[in-house]
Amino acid sequence: MRKMNVESFNLDHRAVKAPYVRVADSKTLPGGDVLTKFDIRFCQPNVDHLQMPVVHSLEHLMAEHMRSHTDAVIDISPMGCQTGFYALLLGTDQAGFLPLLEATLRDVLAAQQVPAANEVQCGWGASHDLSGAQEAARTFLDRRAEWEQVLA
């Protein structure tokens, strides 16, 4: 296969073993700051996926709560394949990111509601599933020892 411009398109999704967290990309900006994109894979590609209301709620919860632990967050984005998320952070390596993610997912478990899950603050405020998001977070946290093993 020819090399694609999108990093994840060059990843053999059959060779990975979810759950995992990996550095998907890293860029040094002209001023020397480093941006790192993390692949947070909740589900095994082409085998399982998160339902859209769960994805949507996890996106809101992680985007809000991770920023409570660091000001390095640029973005948290769901993958279109519904198997995980990308997190873009400034000046954060994998060793620094994993405790942030763990703390964030513990916040998800403690949440009483999904932040900004309403018509004023969200483009589809009715499409949320807090209990599903918490179950996905719990399952991911229960397998914390596996996060750094990407390949099967």
Please tell me what DSSP assigns to residue 16. Answer: B
Buried-exposed string 23-46: b where 16+ CB fall within 10 A, e elsewhere: ebeeeeeeeeeebbbbbbbbbbbe
What pLDDT sits at residue 123?
97
Tell me what percent of the chain is helix, strand and coil, each rounded to the nearest 5. 35, 20, 45
Q: Are 84 and 59 in contact (CB under 8 A)?
A: no
Architecture, CATH, for domain 20-143: 2-Layer Sandwich (3.30)
What pLDDT sits at residue 41?
98
For the entire predicted model, the pTM comes to: 0.96
Taking 70 as the pLDDT cut, the residues of the chain under it are: none
What pLDDT sits at residue 1?
77
Backbone φ and ψ of 142, nearest 5°: -60, -25
Q: Where are the domains of the chain?
A: 20-143
Q: What are the pLDDT digits (tens) for 116-147?
A: 999 999 999 999 999 999 999 999 999 999 99
